[in-house]
Chain A
């Protein structure tokens, strides 16, 4: 047996932990090799030094301390057990490098996510960029005219010439949302002299669809405007409000804002 193989086995040889065959081989080698004997004597020396440390006696009052803590634990058994378990778990976490750093990393990530989510919840990042309803500015001049004509036609206020224009086949049929119709024509046609073109009209509509303007909201010359508005709507008919399929009297608030109306007359 070579020294390189014997030296690593000396610790076990000293402790008589080798299998008998190997132990005999090591023993035979030691008989012939002073270097390995020296190595072994070093182990013996270490062992004897450590044995000389001997045992340190526990102090007598350890028993009293344990007794006191057991009394305390019994008083608060459940709380103590929970605390003990938590302390043990926590001590494992804080003393196991991997878990400790993983916990720190997870905390950092969660904090980062939290700081990202808070502003997002205040200012949502998902804005509907592609609305199916076209913006007002996307109406071309011709389309605006068409919208205006449609509105006026629905109110029965079209002249014969206008009706011809409406029927032109080469003009695209535009069916904007109802609010666009109001915006694009009706208000302007009767408020063109007013400085403030943004206004609303509270209108009473009876079962037959006949309307009567009751009040004007936010208009500088409300009473004059009310009268002229009533003249206009007297020629048209509203769709009456319905409840369970039956026409009922209702109140309609018509909101208008400025848009060029001259284009209708071009």
Chain B
């Protein structure tokens, strides 16, 4: 079977082949899952689930929302479900995602944003700072975290976030404002 043949399904409503859709959204989905879950392997697993869901639901896409927010909705739901599943394990006293991460320290993959002109010290400092922000982000309640990630990291508009999460615009504004407020206090404390 030729490479890529599997991904050649096409859907008229979407106007993209699955291959094109994968190319356009794979980093976005993986990154969103990674930011929500904070774990690379989990994000990889969720990203696969998201693409399988997209593949099997391409026929049900009505075009009522934009393709981007439709995909975001699927990705956020899957990632949030996975996160809650980890939380449930923690409540049962088995393990938490945080424990799992602390036992299996996750180093961010070689970062594309690291400038080649940076000194090793600067790069290390920046890396530590990112780890600290990530830790603070993980302390936010899930819904606030998702809203903040979608706004400040993914760069979605308020309307897009509201549509993706299927909540009102006011709720999104409130979640983002509260999330930022908490993060601001954390940063001021350092």
Contacts and interface: CB of A to CB of B under 8 A. Distances in A.
B52 A45 contact: no
19 contacts: A12-B173, A12-B177, A46-B180, A47-B152, A51-B153, A53-B133, A56-B34, A56-B35, A56-B40, A56-B43, A57-B31, A57-B109, A59-B44, A62-B48, A84-B52, A84-B56, A91-B85, A92-B81, A94-B88
Contacts of A57: 27, 30-31, 109, 112
A248 interface: no
> Chain B at the A interface: mostly helix, strand, loop or mixed?
helix
Interface stretch (B64-72, B97-105, B182-190): B182-190
Nearest to B172: A17
B56 A53 contact: no
B31 A67 contact: no
Interface in B168-183: 173, 176-177, 180-181, 183
B60 to A, nearest CB: 12
B36 to A, nearest CB: 12
Q: Is the interface of A mostly helix, strand, loop or mixed?
A: helix
Given A46-B184, A50-B137, A58 B85 contact: no
Interface in B103-159: 108-109, 111-113, 126, 129-130, 133-134, 137, 148-149, 151-153, 158
Nearest to A74: B6
Given A62-B47, A94-B85, A84 B53 contact: yes
B7 interface: yes
Contacts of B34: 56
Contacts, number: 131
Interface of A: 8, 10-12, 15, 17, 39, 42-43, 45-47, 49-59, 62-63, 65-67, 69-71, 73-74, 80-81, 84, 91-92, 94-95
A11 B31 contact: no
Contact of A53 (B35, B43, B44): B35
A52 B112 contact: no
A53 B40 CA distance: 14
A80 B6 CA distance: 16
A11 B81 CA distance: 28
A100 to B, nearest CB: 8
A82 B83 CA distance: 23
Given A11-B176, A17-B173, A62-B26, 19 more contacts: A12-B177, A15-B158, A42-B184, A46-B184, A50-B137, A50-B149, A51-B153, A52-B130, A58-B47, A59-B44, A66-B48, A67-B7, A69-B48, A70-B7, A70-B55, A74-B6, A94-B85, A94-B88, A95-B85
A69 B52 contact: yes
A47 to B, nearest CB: 5
Nearest to B178: A11
Given A46-B187, A56-B30, A65-B44, A73 B133 contact: no
Contact of A50 (B29, B148, B177): B148
Contacts of A58: 26-27, 29-31, 44, 47
Contacts of A43: 180, 184
Contacts of A73: 52, 55-56
A111 to B, nearest CB: 20
Contacts of A50: 133, 137, 148-149, 152-153, 183
B97 to A, nearest CB: 13
Nearest to A100: B88
A52, A55, A57, A95 pick with most chain B CB within 10 angstroms? A55
B153 to A, nearest CB: 5
B101 to A, nearest CB: 15
Contacts of A59: 30, 44, 109
Contact of A95 (B31, B84, B152, B158): B84
Nearest to A96: B84
